[in-house]
Structure 1
């Protein structure tokens, strides 16, 4: 049986409060059409992502759907592992937002973050 990377591993996630705080303290950020991205270099060999969605965004199932879409887009884009931490936040609630819109925005934010940190 062949194994494929169809899951989002724990090593690719920001998990602790201190991990999130360290990213926010660096204050390096930029925005896309739908998302804001905070980022910083880390001492690991992988890119880790954290997602913050407040209650203003919507009900729990809407917030969870947003997070699932962001994780999936990140998983599909994550072809190169650069040592950095990224926190993604929605700019505003948009019920008509599609997977394609979010994934395109995430890919642009990731490319921009990689370039600003000196990766190619």
Structure 2
């Protein structure tokens, strides 16, 4: 039996301004004190991720990079369960003080919430994400 692929190829990234704009226009939104995650179905059978980690919110470059690494890791490990949804993750200033586990739990909550709320057409039986 083949194991699922957990890579993060270019096809799984939002790269153009038009891709980001499409998500910003009519998003499903999930937010907490650390992160805001916007989502929108994409008509594909795989999810894509965009990061919008503002220097104004997270001043230190090392903190911005750490947060991005944690977000990419969480997305990479859960992408088989996320279906055809585009996600844009934005960090709030409190994220720079949060530890790895706190951000990981926050992201898990956002992924579950948005997959359930966005009602992607890819599958109605996979509404829950389990770890």
TM-score by length of structure 1 reads 0.86
Residues 56-114 of structure 1 show CA distances to partners (whole Å, capped at 9, x for unaligned) of: 21132221221111101111222324111010011224443111111111111011111
2:16 matched to which residue of 1? Answer: 16
2:110 matched to which residue of 1? Answer: 109
Residues 8-62 of structure 1 show CA distances to partners (whole Å, capped at 9, x for unaligned) of: 2212111111000000011431212311011111111111111101112113222
RMSD: 2.0
SS at match of 1:55: coil
TM-score by length of structure 2 reads 0.79
Q: What does 1:7-86 align with in structure 2 at a 5 Å threshold?
A: 7-56=7-56, 57-86=58-87
Where does structure 2 lack aligned partners over 5 or more consecutive residues?
Answer: none
Separation (CA, whole Å) in 2 of partners of 1:54 and 1:102: 17
SS at match of 1:46: coil
Where does structure 1 lack aligned partners over 5 or more consecutive residues?
Answer: none
Q: Which deviates the most, 87-96 or 30-39?
A: 87-96
Q: 1:112 to 1:81 in 2, by over 3 A?
A: closer
Query: Runs in 1 of length 4+ with deviation above 4 angstroms?
Result: 3-6
